[in-house]
Amino acid sequence: SIHVFDILREHSTSAGSKAWEACGADGTRVTIWSGDASSSVTNIHPLIPSPLGNGTMDDEPIWVELRPGKLLLAEVVDKANRLDRLQWAAQVCDAVAALHAIGRVHGSINAHAVVIDDSGTPFLIGHGNIDGSKQDDLDALHRLAKQISPDIELHDDRSSAAALSAR
């Protein structure tokens, strides 16, 4: 079946490709990623949206992912209070731990890969969109956690995303 989305804004990805924030006729917000769907695995973690499907746009492959939030973490992190920042850091680390537990990686963890919904819940979007390793994810998580909450005590423990979440 054909689904039509209104493009709300375009984003450049860290891989140099494009992604589009869009809205369906029923009001559902999605992210449209260029390329083939990275994963058909669903229900990985409550804070990792599942792919909705794939298709083409301008004769190029795309995949569509639910986008539960309107705001990027990068847009709100400087305005957030300390408690929200700490909770976001822990929640994102927990979501990545779930990916790693099933042998997957995110590949592009940063403040532009986290959307915040109206209730303040963070969602990690675009998992598997870029090749990477578990260690790449852990290094990126460490940087993101320090960006989200500069006063957090992380030391140099990068043994697992679960360990970072617990800290």
pLDDT digits (tens, 9 = 90+) for 14-67: 777 889 999 988 999 999 998 876 666 778 899 999 888 888 888 988 999 999
Q: What is the rounded (10 degree) CA torsion for 114, 1, 8, 86?
A: -10
Judge whether residue 4 has pLDDT over 90.
no
Q: What angle do CA 68, 163, 153 make, to 5 degrees?
A: 95
Tell me the two tokens of residue 152. 């957090």
pLDDT tens profile 95-108: 999 999 999 999 88
Mean pLDDT value across residues 130-158: 83
- If DSSP codes are grouped into helix, strand and coil, which group holds residue 45? strand
What's the pLDDT score for residue 40?
65
Q: What is the pLDDT of residue 18?
A: 85
Predicted local distance difference test score (pLDDT) of residue 166: 63
In this prediction, residue 158 has a pLDDT band, given cuts at 50, 70 and 90, of low
For residues 9 and 163, which has the higher predicted lDDT (pLDDT)?
9
* pLDDT single digits (tens) 110-138: 999 999 999 999 999 998 777 889 999 99
Return the number of other C-beta atoms located less than 10 Å from residue 162's C-beta: 15
Which residue is listed with tokens 């559902």?
28
Q: What is the pTM assigned to this prediction?
A: 0.88
